[in-house]
Amino acid sequence: MKFPYSEKVLDHFKNPRNVGKIENPDGKGLEGSPACGDMVAVYLNVNPETLVIEDIRFESYGCASNIATASIITEMAKGKTLDEAKNISWKQATEELGGLPTVKAHCSVLAVEGLRAAIRDYEEKHGLVSEKETTTEEVVRRRLKHVMNPMAGLDIIRTELVTKIEINEGSVRILIDLPSDHQFASAIKEDILEKVKSLWDIEEVNVVFTE
């Protein structure tokens, strides 16, 4: 049989490593939503002395790319310090898996996000994070670097799909250089909302497409 995935992706999809939940984890991250089509939960147990990830598990409601990336990420992160694990990139995970179809990039990036969210959660709970930062254009831009442009397999910032970001009293307006009836428009919009809505001082997010 032929599949659009590498042998390694299929192996991790069929036999995902470190699957399940950790009861009372030291850190927990949940990324994505059923509406986006993919969701991943990452659980961590961390050695408080060494800050080494001693146990890591994940749950996934997602496609093959999502499950395989989550699985490989847990293998890569186990035994690493939080700082080391934080630096595991989507690109490294993809390379480790022997590549992923370009169109599936946004499904797999969630797993990396899930790991980072779990680490952030640990750091916040253990007083390792500084004060909440005010949302600026730079903060939004940083978040949007996690929204994939499925046409290119790179994020929407790097591929210059975002033409303008305006922030005004808790409201963010993001202009996207794509017609609203483009085949990827609604998927991109969902992803943007997902990434930006959760900012603590933001109440409203408007994604505007070009006509």
Check 107, 139, 161, 167 and give the catalytic one.
107
Single-letter code of the amino acid located at 8: K
Catalytic one of 19, 30, 36, 63: 36
| Dist CA 142 CA 160 (whole Å) | 13
Nearer to other proteins, 100 or 172 (CB): 100
Least distance from other proteins to the Cβ atom of residue 93, Å: 18
Tell me whether residue 107 is one of the annotated catalytic residues: yes
The minimum distance between CB 126 and other proteins, in angstroms, equals: 23
In this structure, are residues 16 and 8 in contact, taking their beta carbons and an 8 Å threshold? Answer: no
Closer Cβ to other proteins, 52 or 103, answer by number: 103
Considering the complex, state which of residue 27 and residue 62 has its C-beta at the smaller distance from other proteins. 62
Q: Judge contact between 111 and 63, C-beta under 8 A.
A: no
Binding region for other proteins (CB under 8 A): 1, 3, 10, 13-14, 16, 19-20, 30, 34-41, 59-67, 103-104, 106-107, 150, 181, 183-184, 186-187
Question: What is the DSSP-derived secondary structure letter of residue 105?
Answer: H
Q: Which residues of 56-69 are buried (b: 16+ CB within 10 A; e: fewer)?
A: bbbbbebebbbbbb
H or E element at residue 78: none
The reply to whether 63 belongs to the active site is no
Residues forming the active site = 36, 107
